[in-house]
Amino acid sequence: MSVSTFGSADDPAVLLIGGAGASMDWWPPAFCRMLTGRYVIRYDHRDTGDAPSYPPGAPGYTGTDLVTDALAVLDGLGVAAAHVVGISMGGGIAQELVLDHPDRVLSLTAMSTTAGAGDPDLPGMVPLEFPPDPDWADQAAVVSHLVAGQRVMSAEPFDEREIREIAEIAVARTTNLESSQKNHYATTDDSGPWRHRLPGIGVPVLVLHGDSDPLFPLPHGEALAREIPGARLVVLENTGHEFPGRNWPVVAKEILGISR
């Protein structure tokens, strides 16, 4: 899988883990460069970018494999332990990483994520109308599809130009566009629930969560911060299930603070 780094390997490592269907391009270089004094690492999940691809709807890997992929990235770079930042599905991967491999994680930043999807004490997803599948062979149509899907999950103001620029880069790099948008949702959840294990997390934890997240409403982030000892919650104002450029300065500041 492709890996990209910023900064010096002599500095504290920050591993960025993207969400479902997201290549490393959704951690834009302009944001990565805001993490000054850190060795910033981003990578392509399986089925995204030019990472190994599988037939649509038939991923040849499990959720646990996505966790061990993150470890493989660190191993390949010779990084013993990193400050781990995960968004959405990547936030779940980051939580499992610190629970199962605590010696590899120096701190955890969980953004727009949950440990309790489907739990009765937490709100479900707000009803959303996603766009229909595009012609997966038409790159321009797929770009527009990704932009439309992100718009559904975002708060206003929505910067279509910003998202389109990222989507164009990601689509151009992706081996199988249909697989990239379907296979993470088709993986077998072989790890089981882990919310009950959250009190066992012993590293510094930062929870970043949008106040208007329709996929994982704010109580999901509040539960993480409440159930992980010492965790700190930062609510991102006027923010849905997204990572808009207007939030990069505050997110970068918070990550730099926890990764000293």
- What residues are labeled active site? 88, 213, 241
HSE at residue 219, side-chain half, CA atoms within 13 A, is 11
Residue-wise DSSP of 158-224 = P-HHHHHHHHHHHHHH-S-HHHHHHGGGGSB--S---GGGGGG--S-EEEEEETT-SSS-HHHHHHH
Name the amino acid, one letter, at 214. Answer: P
**Alpha-carbon gap, residue 260 to 223, rounded angstroms:** 25
Contact assessment for residue 236 and residue 250, using Cβ atoms and an 8 Å cutoff:
yes
What pairs with residue 17 in β-bridges? 86
**Phi–psi pair at 83, nearest 5 degrees:** -80, 120
CA atoms of 90 and 216, how far apart (whole Å):
14
